Amino acid sequence: MKTTVTYLFDPLCGWCYGAAPMIGKLSGHSDITLVLAPSGLFSDSGGRVMDAAFAEYAWSNDQRIEKLTGQRFTPEYRSHILGKPGGRFDSAATTMALSAVAMSAPERELDALRLVQEARYLYAQDTCDWSVVATVLRNNNFNRAADSLASPDDALRDRHRTRIRNAQEMMHRFGVQGVPALIISDEQGSRLLRSNALDTSFDTLLSDIAAA
């Protein structure tokens, strides 16, 4: 019987970007079913204006993530995204984009997450801008999702709200305070993996999942 690993995340979470290689390996493991659960943690009311103090905090945190995981945060991202006067820090566009991909090409949702993360942190594209996110989708052959994001219908909005509500209910149930987080489900039930499980080697992560 396969183990289901539910991945609680936010597309604007730097630590989630840092965990991307591990999550990619999990998705390809034959004994694991990976379920993406966008939390909405930094979307809409969870978003904020990118002021100088927050930008400096974010960059300091990003450097810790890069040192620990090897995931790059470029100087262009620092200057053009973090340094953008009055810029928004809001994952509403990227989170709904993933819901659009989940409806039109669910087998590629993790790939879409990687692309919007890299667009921001490597290529300094403002993924808080809906038109930028739609362009990222279109440039990577997610045309149906890009069309849906440009003009969201009721079906997409309902799917989007349901995904976020389910993720938040799971976070509340397991006492999850932040992301990334992993919920392990198998014949023994469901439980939260330790908070730093994604900061280890992949073999250690698999051992943690088996022992959870």
pLDDT in tens, 174-193: 999 999 999 999 998 999 99
How far apart, in Å, are the Cα atoms of 78 and each of 24, 60, 66, 84? 25, 10, 13, 9
Instruction: State yes or no: pLDDT of 47 exceeds 90.
Output: yes
Question: What domain count does the chain have?
Answer: 1
CA-wise closest residue to 113 among 190, 34, 47: 34
- Model confidence pLDDT, tens digit, residues 56-87: 999 999 999 999 999 999 999 999 999 998 89
pLDDT of residue 211: 87
Strand pairing of 32-38 and 48-49?
unpaired
Task: Using only the alpha carbons of the chain, give its radius of gyration.
Answer: 17
Distance, in Å, from the CA atom of 170 to the CA atom of 4, rounded to the nearest integer, reads 14
Domain interval for residue 8: 3-211
Mean local confidence (pLDDT), 190-202: 93
Which tokens hold the place of 5? Answer: 């690993």
CATH number, position 61 = 3.40.30.10
pTM (whole model) above 0.85 = yes
Residues 190, 52 contacting (CB under 8 angstroms):
no
CA-wise closest residue to 38 among 62, 19, 16: 16
Element of type H or E holding 98: helix 92-104
CA-wise closest residue to 11 among 167, 153, 148, 209: 167
Instruction: State yes or no: pLDDT of 212 exceeds 80.
Output: no
